Structure formats: C-alpha cells, structure tokens
A and B are shown apart, each in its own frame.
Chain A
Amino acid sequence: MAKNKPLIITIVAGVVLAFLVAATSASAPAGLRSGATAVGGIFVPLETFFYGISDNIRQSAQPAAQDTGADETAAAYRVMLMDYNEIKAENQRLKTLLEYKDNQPEKDLVTARVIGKEPGNWFEVFTIDVGANNGVQEDMAVVTPDGLAGRVEQVGPNWAKVMSVIDSRSRVPVIVERTRDVGVAGGPLGGDSVKELSMNYLPLDSDITAGDVVVTSGLGDLFPRGIPVGTVAAAKQDPKDTEISITPLVNFKSIYEVFVITEARETAAVVNDDITDHNAVIITSQSQPPTEPDTAPTQNGANTQSAPQDGAAPTAAPEDGAAPQTAAPDDTPTDTITPEDGIPAPVTPNDAPPQVIPPGNTDTEIVTPGAGNT
C-alpha cells in the first residue's frame, strides 16, 4: 500500500483535475472561475516585470551578438546602443498605436499590454494587463494596428485572457473584400510553424485568389465588421471542395500592445461597407452635363438621394434601365457607375473601391437600393 501511495495520489489528483477541466469550460457557471480570477490578478505585476525583461533581452540580443569588442568603452557603447534600439523600437510601436487609435474615432479602444502567453502549443491564448476595471468584458474584440488579434475569453479585475484568431477553437465570421464571399475563418489544425487560418463555408463557385484581403463580416455580432483578418495565402478550388488558407496580418510571435474594442459605432466607413454589400452605386464627379437634382443637398453640402426600402433600384434610376443621373449642388457634372441593365454591381477593389465620403465633399454621392442613407 505504502509503495503505491504516489500512484494512488496521482489517480485521485487526476480525477479531481479532470473534473476541474470539465467544470471550468466556457459553458460552466462564472462562479466556478471566480477564485481563479482573483488569484490571477495578484500575479499581474510579476508577469509584467518578467515579460518586460524578456522583451528587452530579445530586442537587444541581435546587436550584442554582432559586436565582439572586449574593451570597456565598447561595452558601454553596446549597452547604450541596446537602450537606444529598444527605445526606438518601442517608440515606433507606440507611434503606430497612437496613429491607429486616432484613425478609429468610431471605436472605443482600451490600450493593453501583453504580459503573458500560454506556455504550451495547445492554445493560442495571451494575457493582457487590463480587465473588468477598465471596462473589458468577455467576447470583446482585440485588435492591433495590423488587424484582428482575437477576442477576450476570460476577464479578471486587472487582467484578461485573449483567444487569438489562430487558436484552433477560434471561429471568425469573415468576408472576402474583393468577391464579397462570406465564410468562417477558423484556427489552424495545429503544427504549422507558420500559423495559417482556414476559411470554410464558402460557396463552391467563389472566385477567391491568393492575395485577396479578408475582413470581419460582422455577422454574429461578435466582431465589428471591417477589421482586417488576413490575406489569402492559397486557394484550391474544385467543383467538390474549396480550400482556402489565410495568413493572418498580425504577427503573433511579436505581439506586445493591443487594443480592446469596448464599443464600436456604425459610421460612414462602415456604412460604405454596407453599401457594397447591397450592390450600391457610388456616384462621382465626371465631365458630363448636369441633370436636375432629385433631392436637396444635405448639411455638409453632399447631395443625398433617397432610396426605396424594398431593395428595388434607386429612385434616381429611370425605369427603362438607363443610368441614373444626378447633379451636384454646385452644378458639377456627375455620372454614375452602374451596369447597363440598371442593376448596380458590387463595387470591388479591382474596379472601383468603396469611397469614404469626406465631410463637405459635394462631388460624391451614394445611392443604395437598400435602406436610405446619408
């Protein structure tokens, strides 16, 4: 009996821990995880400290390896050079973050620092130093200036665990920007040194090619629409199967700072995305004779045209299928981009990319067959 004591202890421990694994799964009540949540918060400063040290070592390793000088002055300069390179790299990262934040007025972003990563190869989960105290909640999207990083999986008072998009459990509703094909990007099946996502649930006749940009579709309300996810690395298509692999835009090997999107509002850029979804017509200024405007200019001077709610062709378009024509308030000649049959075609990056309308631009007009817009 005494000889088998470790084995008995192991078996008992194994049963208890196996129960814990099952009990703390995502579907388990939040109360079961509250103890772990509280303990996790205690170690945040320690994690931040160690992660910072390793980050410094990693960044300074390259110049140190190149320089083999032995004298003290050279050593002092080496240290200074390391400091300089480290500060320069950090400055560059922070500058990029700041620019990104400034360019996203429609989103409430909480800046977070990565302080830890799941140590094994089983999950792609990283820990950040913001939590419920900063307004972070479960299932909020996490982004970097490069694109979508993942979503918040667990939240503590001052920390949160983020499931990366390359985690094998991750599923992200996406849309291919060029073809507007909707699908689901899933985490890799594991093992690849370069982590790639796979895209599933695509139409068999989809015309996706390598290099196409994939963004979040907004379906399911989990991720705000329009966040870049990756680019198509390879597309194998045959009548029976479609196999698409996506290279994520975020480099998960060197991820240090991220943004948690605590709130995303629909704005002009997003509305534009809607418009392309619903076969909108973007009317731009061209050198053609003006016609009578159908509607009055809006406050910013842009001429806005109402659209029917039933998804029919725009009111501006004549019933005979001729191209709808409008006039800008300043009588600038206008023209429409529309197919000959009068049914507007999807606007894709290859022909005419969706345009964000700058305030006060009187030469640009949007007509959509869907809901009325401004």
Chain B
Amino acid sequence: MSVLITALIGIVAVVLQGSALSLFSVWGAQIDIVLLIILSMTLIEQTQTPVIFAMVFGALTDILYSPQVGFFALAYAACAGVAVYSLKQLPRINMATVILTGLAGSLIAQGICLLAAYVIGARFNLPEMFKAHILPQAVLTAALMLPVYYLAGRFSRRGYSR
C-alpha cells in the first residue's frame, strides 16, 4: 500500500511538473516538485528507498518530457543517494538541515543535469546559466523544502505512506 500511494504521488508530481508547473517560473526558476518530494522522503526515511523512488520518478520524467532516458533519473537518484548518505552522518535534523538539503540537493541535481546535457550535445554559457537559472532554482527549492517537508512529515505520521 505504501509503495502504491508513493508511486501515485510520484506519477502525479511528474505529470504536474511537466505540464502545469512548467508554465510558471519565479525569477527564472521552476518548481521542481519531484525533487522536493524525493528530498523530503530522504529526510523522513533516511533509507535507500528514496533512491529507488528517485530513479523511478526520474525515469518517468525522462520518458514523458526529456529527450534522453536516464537524464533526470540519474540526477534525482544521485541527489537522493548523496542526501541519504550525508544525513546518516548527522545526529539530528533541524530547520537549517532541511533548507541546506534543499539547496545542496538542487545544486547537485542541476550539476549532474548540466554534465549529462553537455555529454548529449547541449552547450551553455555557464556563468549566465548559473545566474539566471541554477542559483534561483536552488534558492526556490531550499525555500519550498520547509513546507513540503512539513506536509510530507504529517502525511507520513498519519501512516498514509507506511
């Protein structure tokens, strides 16, 4: 049941991200709802499960919207893996940890996307790209991490995703 509900949430999040949320941007940054959910799961569970979900949700994003299969899957899975490994080293999670996880998670995911896109053949003006998209995206993800983590925590405590 928990897998089913998480999978349903993931599917809705992926479709929302590529359709509804892709039309809106805040200072050049779009809401990466899939990354937010994955990072929240990572903070709550701190097991390898979010890594697997990250891979699956990322693969679905790739299939539906990206020109390459594995592009977002690689970024999300690596991001979740690093987050799980790093959080295991911390004694406890506080507000700063949540915000930093969002910021670092977004930067890692985008860094991997950047490398993968370069390998595929895309070319970027990196300083301009960093200023216009990467940094605003990381800040937005960090800002949204708190409410999403709070909601995911409540959701988890009520047993919906267990």
Interface of A toward B, CB cutoff 8 Å: 3-7, 9-11, 13-14, 17-26, 33, 36, 39-40, 43, 46-47, 50-51, 53-55, 57-58, 115-123, 125, 127, 153-154, 161, 163, 167-169, 189-193
Q: How far is the CA of A26 from the CA of B104 in the complex (A)?
A: 31
Q: How far is the CA of A19 from the CA of B70 in the complex (A)?
A: 8
Interface centre among A4, A116, A153 (most CB of B within 10 A): A116
- Contact between chains at A122 and B122 (CB < 8 Å): yes
Q: Which residues of A contact B55 (CB under 8 A)?
A: 13, 17
Q: B71 near A: Cβ within 8 Å?
A: yes
Interface centre among A3, A13, A17, A127 (most CB of B within 10 A): A17
- Contact between chains at B78 and A14 (CB < 8 Å): yes
Q: Given the known inter-chain contacts A116-B18, A118-B22, A193-B132, please indicate yes or no for A36 contacting B62, CB distance below 8 A.
A: yes
- Set B17, B18, B85, B116: member contacting A21, Cβ < 8 A: B116
Tell me what chain B mostly uses at the interface: helix, strand, loop, or mixed: helix
30 contacts between A and B (CB under 8 A): A6-B47, A6-B48, A6-B51, A7-B85, A13-B55, A13-B77, A14-B74, A14-B77, A17-B74, A18-B74, A18-B116, A24-B68, A55-B23, A57-B20, A116-B15, A116-B19, A117-B23, A118-B18, A118-B67, A119-B32, A119-B65, A120-B72, A122-B71, A123-B66, A123-B122, A127-B64, A154-B67, A161-B65, A167-B122, A189-B128
Known A17-B77, A40-B63; 16 more pairs at CB < 8 Å: A6-B51, A10-B78, A18-B70, A20-B74, A21-B69, A21-B116, A39-B60, A51-B23, A54-B23, A117-B19, A122-B71, A127-B18, A169-B120, A190-B123, A191-B129, A192-B128
- Contact between chains at B80 and A10 (CB < 8 Å): yes
Q: Which residues of A contact B73 (CB under 8 A)?
A: 13, 17, 20
Q: How far is the CA of A36 from the CA of B130 in the complex (A)?
A: 31
Q: B117 near A: Cβ within 8 Å?
A: yes
Q: Which residues of A contact B88 (CB under 8 A)?
A: 3, 6
Q: How far is the CA of A125 from the CA of B64 in the complex (A)?
A: 11
Q: How far is the CA of A225 from the CA of B58 in the complex (A)?
A: 38
Q: Given the known inter-chain contacts A122-B113, A168-B123, A189-B124, please indicate yes or no for A117 contacting B77, CB distance below 8 A.
A: no
Q: How far is the CA of A273 from the CA of B82 in the complex (A)?
A: 57
State the Cβ distance, B55 to closest chain A Cβ, in Å: 5
- Contact between chains at A47 and B81 (CB < 8 Å): no
Q: Given the known inter-chain contacts A9-B48, A40-B64, please indicate yes or no for A47 contacting B85, CB distance below 8 A.
A: no
Select from chain B the residue with minimum beta-carbon distance to A118. B65
Q: Which residues of A contact B114 (CB under 8 A)?
A: 122
- Set A119, A125, A154, A163: member contacting B21, Cβ < 8 A: A119
- Contact between chains at A10 and B122 (CB < 8 Å): no
State the Cβ distance, B132 to closest chain A Cβ, in Å: 4
- Contact between chains at B69 and A13 (CB < 8 Å): no
- Contact between chains at B71 and A21 (CB < 8 Å): yes
Q: How far is the CA of A18 from the CA of B75 in the complex (A)?
A: 10
Q: Which residues of B contact A51 (CB under 8 A)?
A: 19-20, 23
- Contact between chains at A17 and B70 (CB < 8 Å): yes
Q: Given the known inter-chain contacts A21-B71, A191-B129, please indicate yes or no for A117 contacting B65, CB distance below 8 A.
A: yes
